[in-house]
């Protein structure tokens, strides 16, 4: 009998335990990301910091002061933000007038941290800080942050130290959830590893962004649906349904735009449900479980939306050209015009695909072009190579996956169009490529084909028989391939570290 020590001393463990490979890489590079990226140098990180701290004080709903949305927070939080953003590009959105120097060539120094390291929180002295873009978020995606703030209060730490501890908890909760995601999914494990370790994904995970928790929950619920659908050795019991309900509510209360992922439920054959024993009413019971899942989540979304309704609708006061009501009327009365608006958005802002892989900082630090393109090539190749002969995704289920992906993209665009785009605009404002990270796995599932090596592809008289034999050969000798994937990921993340170091410190 071989010991675990000898098992892990061989390269084969990389193939057998990709979730452990992920933990090692994400932990090592993630901590370095936390240290290299200065505070508030990720999209909306200042707003996430303010909103998370507000929740940590027990105030779940943001406040409104005149035309501003945010809350009364300790003035030391503002002093911290100003202290570590001196001379660094940083778009403040606070309820006071501040003259910021937007110069990308200026860098921070360690001496900039000295005045604020021992700055007391002083909760008695407060100022109103505006953060309209995160004010409507529920407390759910900020759960990891609260652990950091609890420790900070316990030891009476300064705001900047609480900031970094909250960043660390956000990262390691994400790593834990992604570990279970990779472990749970029966196929495309290395594709999930690559998706989780894109420079953009790990960069967001090492900041205070609420998207960190949202992305991890989305990946985990996709993995669970795929496992329930294709793990032939597993019966779905009531405890599994409970897990689905918990994950789905966490996802729905993190970001409503990904609600449609719940329709992946239809990937699961009804015969898998062990508690549906009566064949006569099997389909009815199957649909009842699905409807319960949908209704509960929709009710939670509507409940939170009703709580923050005034907050969500207030941003239109920042511009007389914004009106969710008028935008909705325009969509209903001129649907073709709205379709053209969506098309214009993706044509004019083709950088969404770049942002999926790596446009870091305040979207001002772009990874090299060869990384952006090669990462897509590696993802697509790995999706083709990885297979499980017991797991075949039918054409009907791929149509379902494709429909969910497209409809989710449309939903995200529509929410941005209603809430953050001037009426009649020819393109949609407020959309960033990172918003599509939670549905990125769906695109890779569409490429998965366990039978490709047994087929003969003929395109315009060209037969790709030998190419398919190459794929089958790699599948049967996948240790070298997976070692190459890991090496590529290490190279990409090392290059990312170098780029971040030059961007902020050199």
Q: Note the pLDDT tens digit of each residue in 320-376.
A: 577 777 888 888 888 888 888 888 887 766 668 888 998 998 888 999 999 999 999
Q: What is the pTM of this model?
A: 0.90
Compute the 3-state secondary structure of the chain and give helix, strand, coil in percent, each to the nearest 5. 65, 5, 30
Q: Place 93 in a pLDDT band, splitting at 50, 70 and 90.
A: very low
Taking the domains of the chain in order of start, what are their residue ranges? 18-504
pLDDT at residue 33, as a whole number: 97
Between the CA of residue 285 and those of 130, 282, 295, 296, 491, what are the distances in Å? 48, 5, 15, 16, 50
Strand partners, 458: 463
Q: What is the arithmetic mean of pLDDT over 30-54?
A: 93
* Residues of the chain above pLDDT 70, percent: 84
Distance from C-alpha of 172 to C-alpha of 212, rounded to nearest angstrom: 10
- Structure confidence at residue 459 (pLDDT): 39
pLDDT tens digits along 429-481: 778 889 999 999 999 999 887 555 444 444 344 444 545 555 566 666 678 78
pLDDT at 115: 86
> Could you give the 3-state DSSP secondary structure of residue 172?
helix
pLDDT value at 283 more than 80: yes
Q: For residue 378, which of 468, 265, 485, 490 has the smallest C-alpha distance?
A: 485
pLDDT at 475: 61
Q: Which residues of 369-381 are buried (b: 16+ CB within 10 A; e: fewer)?
A: eebbeebeebbeb
Lowest mean pLDDT among 197-206, 389-398, 402-411, 467-476: 467-476
CB atoms within 10 A of CB 419: 19
Mean pLDDT of 143-156: 94
| Under 8 Å between Cβ of 219 and 225 | no
């Amino acid at each position: 009998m071989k010991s675990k020590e000898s098992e892990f001393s061989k390269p084969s463990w990389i193939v057998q335990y990709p979730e452990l490979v992920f933990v090692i890489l994400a932990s090592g590079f993630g901590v370095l990301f936390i240290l290299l990226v200065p505070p508030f140098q990720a999209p909306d990180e200042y707003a996430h910091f303010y909103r998370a701290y507000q929740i940590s004080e027990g105030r779940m709903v943001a406040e409104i002061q005149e035309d501003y949305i945010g809350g009364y927070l300790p003035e030391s939080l503002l002093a911290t933000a100003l202290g570590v953003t001196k001379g660094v590009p940083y778009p403040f959105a606070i309820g006071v007038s501040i003259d910021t120097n937007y110069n990308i060539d200026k860098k921070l120094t360690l001496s900039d941290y000295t005045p604020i390291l021992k700055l007391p929180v002083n909760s008695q002295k407060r100022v109103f800080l505006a953060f309209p873009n995160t004010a409507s978020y529920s407390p759910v995606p900020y759960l990891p942050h609260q652990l950091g703030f609890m420790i900070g209060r316990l030891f009476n730490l300064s705001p900047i130290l609480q900031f970094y501890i909250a960043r660390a908890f956000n990262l390691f909760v994400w790593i834990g959830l992604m570990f279970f995601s990779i472990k749970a999914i029966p196929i495309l494990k290395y594709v999930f590893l690559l998706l989780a370790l894109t420079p953009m994904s790990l960069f967001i995970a090492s900041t205070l962004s609420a998207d960190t928790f949202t992305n991890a929950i989305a990946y985990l619920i996709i993995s669970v649906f795929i496992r329930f659908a294709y793990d032939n050795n597993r019966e779905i019991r009531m405890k599994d349904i409970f897990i689905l309900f918990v994950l789905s509510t966490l996802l729905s209360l993190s970001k409503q735009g990904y609600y449609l992922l719940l329709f992946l439920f239809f990937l699961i054959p009804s015969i898998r449900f062990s508690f549906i024993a009566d064949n006569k009413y099997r389909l009815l019971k199957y649909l009842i479980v699905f409807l319960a899942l949908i209704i509960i989540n929709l009710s939670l979304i509507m409940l939170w939306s009703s709580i923050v309704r005034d907050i969500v609708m207030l941003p239109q006061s920042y511009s007389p050209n914004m009106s969710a009501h008028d935008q909705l009327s325009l969509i209903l009365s001129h649907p073709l015009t709205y379709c053209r608006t969506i098309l214009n958005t993706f044509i004019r802002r083709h950088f969404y695909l770049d942002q999926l892989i790596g446009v870091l900082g305040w979207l001002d630090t772009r990874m090299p072009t060869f990384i952006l393109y090669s990462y897509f090539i590696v993802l697509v190749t790995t999706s083709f190579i990885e297979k499980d002969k017991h797991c075949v995704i039918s054409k009907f289920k791929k149509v379902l996956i494709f429909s969910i992906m497209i409809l989710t993209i449309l939903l995200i665009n529509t929410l941005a169009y209603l809430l953050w785009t001037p009426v009649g605009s020819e393109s949609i404002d407020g959309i960033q490529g990172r918003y599509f990270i939670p549905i990125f796995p769906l695109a890779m599932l569409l490429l998965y084909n366990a039978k490709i090596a047994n087929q003969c592809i003929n395109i315009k008289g060209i037969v790709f028989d030998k190419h398919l034999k190459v794929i089958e050969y790699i599948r049967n000798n996948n240790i070298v391939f997976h070692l190459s994937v890991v090496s590529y990921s290490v190279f990409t993340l090392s290059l990312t570290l170098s780029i971040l170091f030059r961007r902020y410190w050199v």
